């Protein structure tokens, strides 16, 4: 019989492994099977999917993914947890052949043995944004996903231009995907109980806005715009255009007095196009 992990078993497992969850690795494990099933359902994981999970921990979400996906790729930095995962999977009635565990740091993930279609993860909170951006950039086969992050980060990721939560991570993530808030998760479903709130963010990949050269130019505009958030665009990006920012903004169809926080990624892209043209004229 296939079963998921519960609160008692998670504590027993941690004791067996002599695991003292660390803040540094963001180790707050979900102890509620219903929460895991809800996340997997939100991501619409089905048997055609190869799910990528970052930080499987003791396996709560991994088992819920295995109930639905064809295969799960799990990337875990902690050796003890990575080694234990296939054992837990078998003990719960699942076939560990459907699981690939990569015992490595997700921050440096450059390649994967298969092409994941969906990302489902309770991300380690201190690195959630860079990990998400890295995965979206490196693995275009990921066409959608649901991630659990600190609520503050979730609101930032799902913010729309003009909102005060909107910032560089949102604009950059929007290069690849559209993001939406997908609900909050109570603190009591975790062990140990975290001292921050958690929320779910869902995303769907859209058609690429441009190639790598265009992305890089767009991101340099985004970086400047949000490094000087309170400044008008004509001064925020002045250095990049060497005194010609105003003309280039007008050519991109952007009001030079607007602030970066009001611009959507498509508008940053238009300014990026001007930057590429400007640099090629040098």
Residues contributing to the annotated binding site for S-adenosyl-L-methionine: 28, 30, 55, 76, 105, 122
Residue 106 found at the interface with ligand SAM (CB under 6 A): yes
Q: How far is the CB of 103 from ligand SAM (least distance, A)?
A: 9
DSSP the chain: ------HHHHHHHHHHTT----TTTT--EE--HHHHHHHHHHTT--TT-EEEEE--TTSHHHHHHHTT-SEEEEE-S-HHHHHHHHHHHHHTT--GGGEEEE-S-GGG----SS--SEEEEE--GGGHHHHHHHHHHH-TT--EEEEEEEHHHHHHHHPPTTSTT--HHHHHHHHHEEEEEEEEE-GGGEESPPSS-EEEEEEEE---SS-HHHHHHHHHHHHHHHHTTTSBHHHHTHHHHTT-HHHHHHHTT--TTSBGGG--HHHHHHHHHHHHHHHHT-
Contact status: 66 vs ligand SAM (CB under 6 A): no
Pick the closer one to ligand SAM by CB: 27 or 218.
27
Does residue 245 bind ligand SAM (CB under 6 A)?
no
- Nearest distance in Å: CB 263, ligand SAM: 31
Residue 30 or 236 having the CB closest to ligand SAM: 30
**Taking CB under 6 A as the rule, does residue 105 contact ligand SAM?**
yes
Please pick, from the candidates 7, 17, 25, 42, the single residue that binds ligand SAM as defined by CB under 6 A.
25
Minimum Å gap between C-beta 256 and ligand SAM is: 41
Nearer to ligand SAM, 71 or 224 (CB): 71
Nearest approach, Cβ of residue 274 and ligand SAM (Å): 37
Q: Does 182 bind ligand SAM (CB under 6 A)?
A: no
What are 24's two structure tokens?
Answer: 């540094």
Nearer to ligand SAM, 95 or 105 (CB): 105
The stretch among 76-84, 166-174, 220-228, 264-272 that binds ligand SAM (CB under 6 A) is 76-84
How far apart are alpha carbons 220 and 257 in whole angstroms?
Answer: 19
Which among 141, 137, 143, 271 is positioned nearest to 203, based on CA atoms? 143
Among 45, 127, 189, 221, binds ligand SAM (CB under 6 A): 127
Residue 243 beta carbon to ligand SAM: minimum distance, rounded to whole angstroms: 42
| Six-digit token string for 212 | 């790598």
Binding-site residue numbers are 28, 30, 55, 76, 105, 122
Exactly one of 45, 52, 72, 81 binds ligand SAM (CB under 6 A); which one? 81
What CA dihedral angle connects 256, 258, 261 and 265, to 10 degrees?
-50
Q: Binding ligand SAM by CB under 6 A: which of 33, 50, 54, 120?
A: 54
| Site for ligand SAM contains 56 (CB under 6 A) | yes
Q: Which residues bind ligand SAM (CB under 6 A)?
A: 25-30, 54-57, 60-61, 75-78, 81, 105-107, 122, 124, 127
């Amino acid at each position: 019989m296939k079963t998921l992990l519960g609160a008692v078993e998670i504590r027993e497992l941690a004791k067996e492994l002599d695991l003292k969850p660390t803040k540094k690795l963001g180790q707050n494990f979900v102890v509620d099977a219903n929460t895991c099933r809800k996340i997997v359902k939100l991501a619409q994981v089905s048997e055609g999917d190869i799910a990528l999970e970052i930080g499987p921990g003791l396996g709560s979400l991994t088992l819920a993914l295995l109930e639905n996906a064809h295969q799960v790729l799990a990337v875990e930095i902690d050796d003890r947890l990575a080694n234990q995962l296939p054992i837990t999977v078998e003990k719960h009635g699942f076939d560990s052949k459907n699981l690939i565990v990569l015992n490595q740091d997700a921050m440096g993930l450059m390649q994967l043995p298969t092409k994941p279609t969906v990302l489902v993860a309770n991300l380690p909170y201190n690195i959630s944004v860079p990990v998400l951006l890295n995965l979206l950039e490196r693995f275009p086969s990921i066409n959608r996903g649901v991630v659990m992050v600190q609520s503050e980060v979730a609101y930032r990721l799902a913010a729309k231009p003009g909102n005060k939560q909107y910032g560089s991570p949102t604009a950059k993530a929007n290069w690849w995907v559209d993001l939406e808030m997908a609900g909050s998760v109570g603190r009591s479903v975790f062990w140990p109980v975290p001292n921050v709130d958690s929320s779910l963010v869902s995303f769907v990949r859209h058609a690429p806005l441009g190639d790598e050269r265009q992305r890089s130019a767009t991101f340099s505009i985004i970086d400047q715009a949000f490094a000087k958030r309170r400044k008008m665009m004509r001064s925020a990006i002045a250095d990049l255009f060497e005194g010609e920012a105003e003309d280039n903004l007008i050519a991109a169809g952007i009001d030079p007095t607007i602030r970066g926080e009001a611009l959507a990624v498509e508008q940053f892209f238009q300014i990026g196009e001007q930057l590429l043209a400007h640099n090629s004229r040098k």
